[in-house]
Amino acid sequence: MANTKEIKSRIHSVQDTMKITKAMHMISSSKLKKAKKEMKDSSEYFKTLQKSIAEIFQNVPDIENEYLGHKDVEDKKVGYLIVTADKGLAGGYNHNVIKLSQKELSKNPDATLLLVGQVGRSYFGKRNYTIDKFFRYTAQNPTIHKARVICEEIMLRYKENKLDEVYMIYTNEINGLEDEARIQKLLPLEKSDFVTEEADDNDWEMTYMPSAQDVLNSIVPNYVTGFVYGALVMSYACEQNDRMIAMDAATENAKEMLATLSVEYNRVRQAAITQEITEIIAGAKAQKRKKKADE
Amino acid sequence: MSTFELSVIATNRTFYKGICRQVVVSSTDGLLGIMANHERAVVAIVEGETRIQLEDGEWITAVTGIGYVQIQDNKVLIIVDFAEKPEEVDERMAQQALEEAQEEMRQKQSLMEFHISQAKMARAMARLSVKKKYSGF
């Protein structure tokens, strides 16, 4: 059994760690409040945008547009926009995104990566992937302006044919407690991706002003920006939520450890006291006997 | 006067949701008025003003960003990247953004940077012009 000094220093170290996890829990919960508000404000836009784009695309005429349909090229150049956190200690948050990305990347090992978040950058940087662009300070503070910059970068690469397909990997909230990594195709938009079962009575004529071509050219970048913004906000909220849960669990674990350690500490201390007393009594008895013998 | 359902949704807020008589938006070829029972259409809109006439005939004015209008079954959906009332526009911020964009465009920049500055300038100018037009009284 370890001695009291050792146990005491162990208790101290656990206590110090617990202070950190507790503080991180508190920070995450206050950040989560802000993130939840942002998510609530943008969720209406995010949902309506997706629904409306789906409706529009079901009726879109078969026209040639650079954003639409397959590009018939061999050796498609695929790009991934991957959203991770800037920091670890968020439970499975980063891990889930990286796992999904890795799975996708095993299909396209030469894919180009556009990264948001420090964790993904250091992970993929070490593994010899082509990182085309890293967006700094975006994971912590998603704004529409940053989404616009990201969208512009993607559009530029797409128009210059440096990328033929672009996917986004982000974290989606399932309910208040759970989330999952998800992949979504950003470009090109395919009509078949939007056609749903319920769209049967929707083959009316639709007027496009000024023209279908112009409308698509204006809507698609908008859609990508909107989607990227929504996904960034959602990922950020999930990150804070995951970190909060992870830190809460860590604090709980630390508490449990402290309880066992303090029991052990008391036992060892008691054992030491008992031993000391036994020694003293034994010593005293020996002295007594010696005195008696001397008389 | 017949009415229709209108939603104006911006990235960070739902600007308006309700019944109205007509709405005027800034399409790529100029102002476009939409009234009840309009045919199904999708219209691309640019930065500029959007005016909504409520059921009681009163007008709401807003400056809106780039986006589009979807008209379907007497329901109009306007999706834009921002929507603000003239009194909500921060004139100083808009002026500053405009000057920044002008400064940026004077510098040599890549095509992408040019697009970003151009969009920034369009937003600033739309905000300023609507602010100017409706704050005089």
For chain A, where do the domains classified as CATH 3.40.1380.10 start and end? 32-246
| Cα–Cα distance measured from residue A232 to residue A139, given in angstroms and rounded to the nearest whole number | 7
Residue B75 has pLDDT above 80, yes or no: yes
Which of A48, A152, A218 minimises the CB distance to B9?
Answer: A48
Contact B9 A208 (CB under 8 A): no
Shortest Cα distance, chain B CAs vs residue A37, angstroms = 10
> A4-19+249-294 domain in CATH 3.30.70?
no
| Cα–Cα distance measured from residue A208 to residue A216, given in angstroms and rounded to the nearest whole number | 9
Condensed to tens digits (0 to 9), the pLDDT of residues A260-273 reads 999 999 999 999 99
- Within the 85-114 window of chain B, which residues sit less than 8 Å (CB to CB) from chain A? 111-112
Contact A222 B68 (CB under 8 A): yes
Which pTM does this prediction carry? 0.82
> What amino acid is encoded at B26 in this protein?
S
Contact A222 B66 (CB under 8 A): yes
**What's the longest Cα–Cα distance across chain A?**
125
Shortest Cα distance, chain A CAs vs residue B19, angstroms = 18
Tell me what pLDDT residue A280 has: 94
| Cα–Cα distance measured from residue B119 to residue B47, given in angstroms and rounded to the nearest whole number | 9
Which of A152, A204, A215 minimises the CB distance to B68?
Answer: A215
Specify whether the CB–CB gap between B22 and B58 falls below 8 A. no
Closest CA to B26 of B95, B115, B122: B122
Contact B10 A45 (CB under 8 A): yes
- Domain coordinates of chain B in residue numbers? 4-84, 86-134
| Cα–Cα distance measured from residue A47 to residue B50, given in angstroms and rounded to the nearest whole number | 22
A208 alpha-carbon distance from chain centroid: 39
Q: What architecture is the B4-84 domain classified under in CATH?
A: Sandwich (2.60)
At A72, the pLDDT band (50, 70, 90 cuts) reads low
Interface ipTM above 0.85: no
Tell me what pLDDT residue A70 has: 61
Topology of the domain comprising A32-246: Pyruvate Kinase; Chain: A, domain 1 (3.40.1380)
